[in-house]
């Protein structure tokens, strides 16, 4: 019986395989170059730790250990591809390649900037609220899809590790894979996605303290092959806690979009999120009013369940752009649960609402002044 | 929004970190003063276990035991869009100086008067 397993599980199992010479595990040594799963096969791309060759007994022993570790997961036939290590070009570059100087990064540079995480991303936009349940993830997912439909290259990073919902909203048809030691994000509806939802069995929970959350945010930014993106949309968990702070510290966010329902209670809590972003020098790009009104699908009667226009009024009072209103609508719910975001179809009123928010957001981004990067010498 | 630093020079004149701000102001922070004002939890006793300076690394072998390298910043990095973190030669690196806080620390006469008035 073949189990459905995850590349991450394979990586985890491989951490048990140690290089006898250094005593370190082969994942930490960077010997695992890739894991692919499919067609009843688990393929592992390996590179031998330097002095060992495949033909030696030590090499054979290592291969056996890898085979056993992967086979124990019962994910299918195990295939191991051994790649030759790249020619020893590193040796020629002298002291810079000494142990500790990782990838010849700026670490050795006394006052230089740290290596930028996700360097190919032009703009990083956080979608946040104070209160939970106002539709942040729905707005973030549809916004990402609407931007992709407008021809932009878009990524969506779901930092809500406690309640990851992006894989459900966009339909998890693909899974992340490991390529050259980094995560290749799956693409759904033209959007590159990463979410804790991919790494967690359905009924498991993330019960973590701050440092683990911080690490996750760093990995989502730095260890994912985002490539060149016009926009990286970040879906945040509710509140003003560890994840929000980590994100604002690790990424120089271009700006934040605040989602709120129209009633006073939600707006009061949203103002806390706004205060946090202002304290951390992240510009507020605008406010989206979700669940703005409800139109009865039977009789067409419109009812303002949470009141109406509260977010627009609040945005105007605080001097932020109002990006648009999204109705409380049965179709948005059903399509979201089916993994087909309504923004895919710009002809429907629901899809149009999200497309308009995306257009308004791009207009705000164009207006927003690009903060000069601080020079450190 | 508070002014942000445009340029930070670690090896500034008079053993100071020099910050040029977006509003044109220029601040000089002597090394010892800036290290003393480190806002991290250990230095400000936020842990409630008494504030204490972090241990200096052991003197290099051969150096006189009472000799200490003069304190200086080794490295600085931007923290998001709102702060600067500084790694000091004594190994301390946990302080995150928000721009707001850093500007408030400016020891020049002009800023001092503003703070008092």
Q: State the nearest Cα–Cα gap between A52 and chain B, in angstroms.
A: 37
CATH code of residue B97: 3.30.2020.30
Residue B104 falls inside a structural domain? yes
Scanning every residue of chain A, which has its alpha carbon at the shortest distance from the alpha carbon of B101? A279
Residue A288: which pLDDT band, with cuts at 50, 70 and 90? very high
Are A110 and B74 inside 8 Å of each other by CB? yes
Which residues 6+ apart lie within 8 Å of A12 measured at CB? none
What is the mean predicted confidence (pLDDT) over A35-45?
Answer: 82
Q: How far from chain centre, in Å, is Cα A140?
A: 12
What is the mean predicted confidence (pLDDT) over B7-21?
Answer: 94
- Is the pLDDT score of A369 beyond 90? no
| Cα–Cα distance, A115 to A232 (Å, whole number) | 18
What is the model's pLDDT at position B106?
94
- Is the pLDDT score of A215 beyond 70? yes
Q: State the nearest Cα–Cα gap between B9 and chain A, in angstroms.
A: 5
Question: Considering its fold, how many domains does chain B have in total?
Answer: 1
Nearest by CB to A252, from B2, B81, B99: name it: B81
Residue B55 falls inside a structural domain? no
Q: In what order do the strands lie in the sheet with B5-12?
A: A375-376, B5-12, B16-21, B26-30
Which residues in chain A touch residue B74, judged by CB atoms under 8 angstroms apart?
110
Q: Which of A211, A256, A283, A374 to mutate to test the interface with B (most CBs of B within 10 A)?
A: A374
| Cα–Cα distance, A248 to A242 (Å, whole number) | 10
Q: Does A366 touch chain B (CB under 8 A)?
A: no
Nearest by CB to A110, from B6, B75, B84: name it: B75
Least confident interval from A28-42, A196-210, A258-272, B94-108:
A28-42
| Cα–Cα distance, B82 to B97 (Å, whole number) | 9
| Cα–Cα distance, A63 to A56 (Å, whole number) | 11
- The CA distances from residue B78 to A313, A371, A376, B10, in Å, are 35, 13, 8, 13
> Has the ipTM of the complex gone over 0.85?
no
User: Which residue range forms the structural domain that includes residue B105?
Assistant: 5-46+70-116
Residue B62 falls inside a structural domain? no
- Is the pLDDT score of B59 beyond 70? no
Residues of chain B whose beta carbon is less than 8 angstroms from a beta carbon of chain A are 1-2, 4-11, 22, 74-84, 96, 99
Number of neighbouring beta carbons within 10 Å of residue A105: 12
Average model confidence (pLDDT) for chain A? 85
Percent of residues, chain A, with pLDDT higher than 90 = 54
Same fold, A7-86 and A121-367: no
Residue B54 falls inside a structural domain? no
Least confident interval from A202-216, A329-343, B47-61:
B47-61
Q: Which CATH architecture has domain A121-367?
A: 3-Layer(aba) Sandwich (3.40)
What is the mean predicted confidence (pLDDT) over A79-100?
Answer: 48
Q: State the nearest Cα–Cα gap between A251 and chain B, in angstroms.
A: 5
In tens, the pLDDT along B73-117 reads 999 999 999 999 999 998 899 999 999 999 999 999 888 777 665
What is the model's pLDDT at position A353?
95
- Is the pLDDT score of A105 beyond 50? no
Return the bridge partners of A183, or none.
A178, A224
Residue A80: which pLDDT band, with cuts at 50, 70 and 90? confident
The CATH code of domain A7-86 reads: 3.30.300.130
Residue B22 falls inside a structural domain? yes
Residue A52: which pLDDT band, with cuts at 50, 70 and 90? confident
Start-to-end Cα distance in chain A: 60
Are B76 and A114 inside 8 Å of each other by CB? no
Are A376 and B99 inside 8 Å of each other by CB? no
Q: Whole-model pTM? A: 0.71
Q: Where are the domains of chain A?
A: 7-86, 121-367
Are A280 and B77 inside 8 Å of each other by CB? no
Scanning every residue of chain B, which has its alpha carbon at the shortest distance from the alpha carbon of A247? B80
- The CA distances from residue B85 to A21, A289, A376, B100, in Å, are 38, 37, 11, 13
Q: State the nearest Cα–Cα gap between B39 and chain A, in angstroms.
A: 16
- Minimal CA–CA distance to B34: which of B48, B47, B18, B20? B18
What is the model's pLDDT at position A69?
87
Q: State the nearest Cα–Cα gap between A104 and chain B, in angstroms.
A: 17
- Is the pLDDT score of A98 beyond 50? no
Residue B88 falls inside a structural domain? yes
In tens, the pLDDT along A146-194 reads 999 999 999 999 999 999 999 999 998 899 999 988 999 999 999 999 9
Which residues in chain B touch residue A370, judged by CB atoms under 8 angstroms apart?
none
Residue B94 falls inside a structural domain? yes
Number of neighbouring beta carbons within 10 Å of residue B15: 14
Average model confidence (pLDDT) for chain B? 85
Q: Which of B82, B84, B93, B98 to mutate to test the interface with A (most CBs of A within 10 A)?
A: B82
Residue A34: which pLDDT band, with cuts at 50, 70 and 90? confident
- Per the document, the length of chain B is 117
Which residues 6+ apart lie within 8 Å of A132 measured at CB? A237, A238, A239
**Contact at 8 Å (CB) between A313 and A279?**
no
Nearest by CB to A375, from B6, B82, B99: name it: B6
Contacts 24+ apart (CB under 8 A), A352-357: A353/A324, A353/A325, A353/A326, A353/A327, A354/A139, A354/A142, A354/A143, A354/A145, A354/A146, A354/A326, A355/A146, A355/A149, A355/A150, A356/A324, A357/A139, A357/A143, A357/A146, A357/A288, A357/A323, A357/A324, A357/A326
Q: State the nearest Cα–Cα gap between A319 and chain B, in angstroms.
A: 13
What is the model's pLDDT at position A146?
97
């Amino acid at each position: 019986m073949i189990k459905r397993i995850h590349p991450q599980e394979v990586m985890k199992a491989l951490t048990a395989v140690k290089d006898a010479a250094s005593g370190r595990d082969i994942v930490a040594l960077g010997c695992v170059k890739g894991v692919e799963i499919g067609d009843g096969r688990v393929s592992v791309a390996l590179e031998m730790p330097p002095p060992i060759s495949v033909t030696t007994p030590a090499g054979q022993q290592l291969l056996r250990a890898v085979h056993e570790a992967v086979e124990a997961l019962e994910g299918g036939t195990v295939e191991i591809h051994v790649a030759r290590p790249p020619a020893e070009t590193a040796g020629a570059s002298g002291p810079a390649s000494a142990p500790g100087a990782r990838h010849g990064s700026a670490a050795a540079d006394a006052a230089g900037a740290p290596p930028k995480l996700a360097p190919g991303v032009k703009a990083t936009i956080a979608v946040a609220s104070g209160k939970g349940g106002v539709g942040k993830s729905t707005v973030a997912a549809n916004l990402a899809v609407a931007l992709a439909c407008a021809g932009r290259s878009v990524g969506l990073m779901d930092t809500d590790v406690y309640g990851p919902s992006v894989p459900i909203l966009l339909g998890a048809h693909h899974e992340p894979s490991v390529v050259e030691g980094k995560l290749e994000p799956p693409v759904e509806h033209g959007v590159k996605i990463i979410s804790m939802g991919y790494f967690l069995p359905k009924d498991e929970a993330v019960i973590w303290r701050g440092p683990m959350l911080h690490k996750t945010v760093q990995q989502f930014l730095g260890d994912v092959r985002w490539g060149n993106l016009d926009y990286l949309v970040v879906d945040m968990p509710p509140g003003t806690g560890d994840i929000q702070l980590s994100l604002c510290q690790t990424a120089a966010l271009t700006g934040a979009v605040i989602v709120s329902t129209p009633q006073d209670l939600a707006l009061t809590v949203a103002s806390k999120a706004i205060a946090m972003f202002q304290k951390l020098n992240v510009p507020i790009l605008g406010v989206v009013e979700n669940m703005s009104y409800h139109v009865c699908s039977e009789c067409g009667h419109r009812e303002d369940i949470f009141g109406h226009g509260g977010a627009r009024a609040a945005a105007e009072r605080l001097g932020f752009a109002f990006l648009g209103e999204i109705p409380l609508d049965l179709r948005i719910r059903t399509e979201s649960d089916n993994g087909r975001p309504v923004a895919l179809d710009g002809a429907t009123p629901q899809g149009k609402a999200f497309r308009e928010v995306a257009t308004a957001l791009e207009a705000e981004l164009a207006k927003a002044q690009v903060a000069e990067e601080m020079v450190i010498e | 929004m508070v002014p942000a630093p445009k340029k930070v020079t670690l090896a500034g004149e008079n053993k100071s970190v020099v910050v040029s701000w977006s509003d044109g102001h220029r601040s000089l922070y002597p090394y010892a003063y800036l290290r003393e004002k480190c806002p991290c939890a250990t230095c400000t006793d936020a842990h409630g276990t008494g504030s204490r300076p972090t241990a200096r690394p052991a003197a290099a072998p051969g150096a006189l035991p009472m000799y200490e390298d003069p304190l200086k910043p080794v490295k600085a990095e931007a923290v998001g869009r709102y702060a600067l973190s500084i790694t000091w030669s004594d190994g301390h690196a946990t302080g995150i100086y928000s721009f707001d806080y850093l500007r408030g620390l400016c020891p020049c006469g002009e800023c001092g008067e503003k703070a008092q008035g």
